[in-house]
Amino acid sequence: MTSHPIRVEFAGATLLGVLDGGVAWVAMKPVVEGMGLAWQRQYQKLLDDEVLSQVVTEKVMTSHGADGKAYRVNMLCLPEEYLQGWLFTVNPRKVKPEIKDAVIRYKRECYAALHRAFTKGVSDRVVAIDSKRALGKVVADILNDVLIESGKEPKRHHFMNEHRLCNMALNGQFAGIDESTLSEADLWKLAEIRRRDAVLIAKGLTYQERKAGLIEFARGLSQKSLPKAA
């Protein structure tokens, strides 16, 4: 089953997760550090807890470094439904005075707000990814038929170049894209760019004509509202 990354902006921190096997896994280190707590202490508490130690595991996450680049890293994660269980173990009376308010805020808001943020983020992002992939297949199917009708044998590079053309319209780079590094908005933009590309191919436009048309179309997307998950 395909895993889907989750990024949630919450209380000034970027929280990371992944939907894997129908379970939303929460990377614990960003949560712990977002509260101002020491990671090593909380890491040991997770391993010592009789319940949480049975469900905590490592998952591969996409994290952005200080250089702005995306990196794949292993992070200790809890299933989202167990996050509250860990929060119960954090006593605001035993933390440093300067972070007490942050800890209380997380404990108060995390029970409901963070749950909604993760579950909404999962559904919206999954729909955006699925739409992007589905429209990529539409582009490939139409391109395949057009190539055959024109007497050409479809080759792998035809489809790779077409997807890269769409990527270039999105970010200016004629190259592949790791979808885990894209925001939800960019996933929707790429889906719409692929939809437009399918129309241009069906109209019989040349590669260069499609290139110009897609770049212009992508610029216009910033002025329009993008689809939203129901």
Q: For the segment 69-78, what is each residue's pLDDT rounded down to a tens digit?
A: 777 889 999 9
Phi, psi of 65 (to 5 degrees): -85, 180
Is 70 exceeded by the pLDDT of residue 102?
yes
Are the CB atoms for 169 and 193 separated by under 8 Å?
A: yes
Given strand 13-20, what is the order of strands in its sheet? 4-10, 13-20, 23-27, 70-79, 57-64
Reported as a pLDDT band with limits 50, 70 and 90, residue 1 is very low
Q: Which of 31-35, 94-98, 177-181, 193-197 is most confident?
A: 193-197
pTM (predicted TM-score): 0.55
Is 90 exceeded by the pLDDT of residue 12?
no
Q: Averaged over 77-95, what is the pLDDT?
A: 85
Among 29-43, 69-83, 98-112, which is the least confidently predicted range?
Answer: 98-112
